[in-house]
Amino acid sequence: MARAAVFLDRDDTINRNADLPSEAWDGVKKGDLLKPEFAILVPGAREAIVALRSAGYAIVVITNQGGLARGGGTTRDVEAVNDELRSLVNGTEPGVDPVFGEQLIDGFYFAPHHPGGVVTHYCDDHGWRKPNGGMIRAACAELDLDPERSWMIGDKLRDIEAGMDAGIARSRSILIDPQGDAPDLARAAEMVLGSIPGGKSVEVDDPKVSPASRVTLRAVDPGFVPMRDSRTREMVEVIARGISERTGIVLHELDVDEERVEALIGTHRLAALAFMAELRRDTNRWHERQYGTPLWDLTERT
């Protein structure tokens, strides 16, 4: 079955743009980020992407790059910025450990077109250029993604319009803006994760109250009792402590009963959600190997 994805705008959604210093715009129009040394993640962006990816979503970045049409740079410049952002998100820069050892961004797509450009072959309103949904449609075809189960997050209305043009419902689109749906990507990720179907709900303490986050993984359907078997409960505990050991995330408390797993995790809420998403995924894999069915109900609900 085609995967669900979270499509992300790039500039001012995952990386800073509007507040970059003037040096970032030498030789280009302000906003045309073509210098990788100014690729700087917004606070909480890496944690948000980790949490979304760990929950099973593909992560795809789609971005208008009209600076190429305006003659400010080449595709290599855009790719250099994208590669730097990929490294920052993956945690491959010195002093930052990768999370769960995976490539976190599945793809970058960019539209170099602009109808007011000067480079002839980019001087048009191409179907890839947002608010058109061409980049999303291309990603869905190439990466086997399902737009109806996917999300769109961006800081401009054209991002939301592009998602809707490609088949992503407005109810699954999040506009990042102080007056929009969420103030930043971190909060938008919490909204997506709080809406995850699949037979469970997730509750997280406010991190301002405590340096640790209490997270609960539970069955939504009262008739679904995923851990009635004591051996299954024991294995869930073993897998949870294994995730803690390999990631270095402290597991202060772990309580497992027939219907839910509750953990007090020594980290902020997005990393705690990522931890629990990883636990859901690993325990499902084990249960499928042992019994032929997932441990947690994965039926898609909207």
Say whether 226 sits in a helix, a strand or coil: coil
Given 11, 32, 106, 155, the catalytic residue:
11
Say whether 230 sits in a helix, a strand or coil: helix
CA distance 181 to 156: 11
Nearest of 11, 128, 119, 27 to residue 70 by alpha carbon: 119
CA distance 99 to 47: 10
Instruction: Give the DSSP H/E element, type plus range, for residue 214.
Output: strand 213-219
CA distance 162 to 197: 24
Please provide residue 113's backbone torsions phi and psi, each rounded to the nearest 5 degrees. Answer: -90, 155
Structure tokens at 19: 């507040």
Other CB atoms within 10 Å distance of the CB of residue 124: 13
Given 9, 32, 155, 165, the catalytic residue:
9
CA distance 237 to 231: 10
Number of helical H runs and strand E runs in the chain: 7, 9
**Sign of torsion, CA 221 228 266 8?**
negative
Instruction: Provide CB contacts within 8 A for 40, sequence distance 6+.
Output: 15, 16, 20
- C-alpha radius of gyration, the chain, whole number: 21
Nearest of 188, 175, 168, 199 to residue 294 by alpha carbon: 199
Instruction: Give the DSSP H/E element, type plus range, for residue 151.
Output: strand 151-154
Q: Is 11 one of the catalytic residues? A: yes
Catalytic residues: 9, 11
